[in-house]
Chains A and B, each alone.
Chain A
């Protein structure tokens, strides 16, 4: 390896002048091409969102114009308040946010405890148990869906948000994995010193680990929010009463009931997207780092 490497390196050095300049041109061409394609795809990615907002500002006549107008002729801002009248929009938004908040609380508490137990407490069989636990990430929801529904029904929980919220208090293997990675980066000296001073595990967890874990917990909270806010199947199964619906269920009903009122549907869709978008712009770094972590360490 090293011999052939040095040999090819010397030949490369010998040919440097001509080889490098043509390579530089080639690089420049590649880069221009990369910009061109990336920009085109980026435009295509923005377009549906642009079209959503444009449509949301048109009249119910203008939306059906052929050929379509690229800008609304006379922006109909009242479509937004109107769209929140067709369905109890704010009620659905409130329900969604309550479910999100409770799910986040449950996930953050349970996952940080579990991750601590897997990362910082040495106990026999720990790694084997962790691998079994981690494998639940791969379990399709359909396999457990029916027995869980039957039990929740017997408990009288169908038609309430509890089947969506309570499981969050019992951990989530993916987030446990993520937090465990963070825990393992914290040097042992920190906790050993506290242990010598007579602190118990719970004290160490609470007073030393949790403050250090804040950025990781923020990542978990964000991901949990987005996943819960986007969830459709869970609410579809369990929220049988209309006044408990989440915004996703409400939007689907909106489409089923007033399918031709595209301008109002697009206004409601825009309103639904705004919270996650604001959140993303405020916390971009946390998001990006979290994604990198789930992907690479997997």
Chain B
């Protein structure tokens, strides 16, 4: 980590100053961007979170009132719980499914590029367009999904209308959007040295044990990476649920707010009700949750195995 500051003579030379200035000049867009689009807004939103602010009048300091209101806000609590549902139930299901699919594709399957394309396509199609397609598939009366389950004698399901099924429906739909992660895992799996797998095989390990004792540890850094990125992403879950539930007058969340997620409620507070202070408090609570979650993941990352650089 301290490569750059390797002291050659211990003295600050003119050439060092010049290289510092050159380096800073090259990264100057990042410095400006970091201050303008990250550091300053973070601090500013913390300030707003202690104010009553509707953008038409100047912010008015109210201390912790916004945070106290959050504690008593029933709808906010629903959004929070729904979001945790996606992070703790949806995300693991998706990652396990994606990993399983990657394992299948890594078995030297023929026509790999076709499978890869099929699994990846939903990840690059515009979310709104594909979610509208799912809206049609989920349609209670004329949707094909109810028709298909009907072939197996299952009664029609209110995929998006029955509060018991709405979130499972979102998770089901989300499996379709995971191709990106499948490809990341697949690339990781192809990086696992064949010699290790062969050695395990010679030692009499079956496919399951090979996967558990060799493949998993070897690609654990990749799993860890997708876990971190997706935990952060799932806490911000927005577009799919918004497209499925938002009505013409801007209401969103579905039946009994069963599809109201954190980022949706925050958006509504800020840009529909112009409660900027209240929304900023929500943003900071989200920030704290995400920081704690990633902190915990790093803290308990002992299972991640980093290959030493040869």
Binding site for B on A (CB under 8 A): 5, 8-9, 12, 19, 23, 26, 30-31, 34-35, 37-38, 41-42, 45-46, 48-49, 51-52, 55, 63-64, 66-68, 110, 113-114, 116-118, 121-129, 131-133, 136-150, 153, 167, 169-171, 173, 176, 201, 205, 226, 229-230, 232-233, 236-237, 247-249, 251-252, 255-257, 262, 265-266, 268-269, 272-273, 276-277, 280-281, 284, 287-288, 291-292, 294-296, 298
Contact = CB atoms under 8 A, between A and B. Distances in A.
B280 interface: yes
A292 B45 contact: no
A170 B37 contact: yes
A51 B247 contact: no
For the complex of A and B, the 4 pairs showing the least CB-CB separation, nearest first, are: A117-B26, A170-B33, A295-B184, A292-B187
Contact of A150 (B25, B267, B276): B276
B40 interface: yes
B236 A141 contact: yes
Nearest to B204: A12
Nearest to A172: B33
Interface stretch (B62-70, B85-93, B115-123, B160-168): B115-123
Contacts of B159: none
B239 to A, nearest CB: 5
Nearest to B186: A292
Contacts of A121: 19, 22-23, 26
12 contacts: A12-B203, A38-B115, A68-B142, A121-B26, A133-B30, A136-B34, A226-B124, A251-B128, A269-B129, A272-B125, A288-B116, A296-B187
B126 A146 contact: no
B119 to A, nearest CB: 6
B184 A232 contact: no
B4 A123 contact: yes
Nearest to A225: B124
B121 A277 contact: yes
B203 A8 contact: yes
Contacts of B129: 248, 251, 268-269, 272-273
Contacts of A167: 33, 37
Contacts of A114: 26-27, 29-30
A170 B36 contact: yes
Interface in B150-195: 176, 179-180, 183-185, 187-188, 191
A153 to B, nearest CB: 7
Interface of B: 1-5, 16, 19-20, 22-27, 29-30, 32-34, 36-38, 40-42, 44-45, 48, 55, 101, 104-105, 107, 109, 113-122, 124-130, 132-137, 142, 144, 147, 176, 179-180, 183-185, 187-188, 191, 199, 201-204, 206-207, 221-222, 225-226, 228-229, 232, 235-236, 238-239, 242-243, 246-248, 262-263, 266-267, 270-271, 276, 279-280, 282-284, 286-287, 290, 294
- Of B22, B114, B120, B248, chain A has the most CB atoms within 10 Å of the CB of B22
Contact of B133 (A26, A52, A66, A140): A52
B41 A269 contact: no
B266 A139 contact: no
Contacts of B243: 232, 252, 255
B48 A147 contact: yes
B132 A269 contact: yes
B130 A124 contact: no
The main secondary structure of chain B at its interface with chain A is: helix
B247 to A, nearest CB: 7
B251 to A, nearest CB: 11
Contacts of B202: 8-9, 12
Contacts of B283: 140, 142-143, 145-146
Contacts of A296: 184, 187-188, 191, 222
A19 B204 CA distance: 9
- Of B128, B191, B226, B238, chain A has the most CB atoms within 10 Å of the CB of B128
Nearest to B199: A5
Nearest to A4: B203
Contact of B130 (A35, A64, A205, A273): A273
Contacts of B113: 284
Given A121-B23, A123-B22, A272 B126 contact: yes
Contacts of A66: 142, 147
A255 B118 contact: no
Contact of B127 (A129, A136, A230): A230
A283 B201 CA distance: 38
Given A143-B45, A170-B29, 4 more contacts: A121-B23, A127-B1, A133-B34, A251-B129
Given A38-B101, A48-B133, A140-B287, A118 B27 contact: yes
Nearest to A139: B38
A54 B129 CA distance: 15
A277 B117 CA distance: 10
- Of A5, A147, A255, chain B has the most CB atoms within 10 Å of the CB of A147
Contacts of A127: 1-4
Contacts of A171: 29-30, 33
B288 to A, nearest CB: 10
A5 B198 CA distance: 13
Given A123-B23, A147-B41, A266-B136, A38 B126 contact: no
Contacts of B48: 146-147
Contacts of B228: 138
B116 to A, nearest CB: 7
A126 B23 contact: yes
A189 B133 CA distance: 53
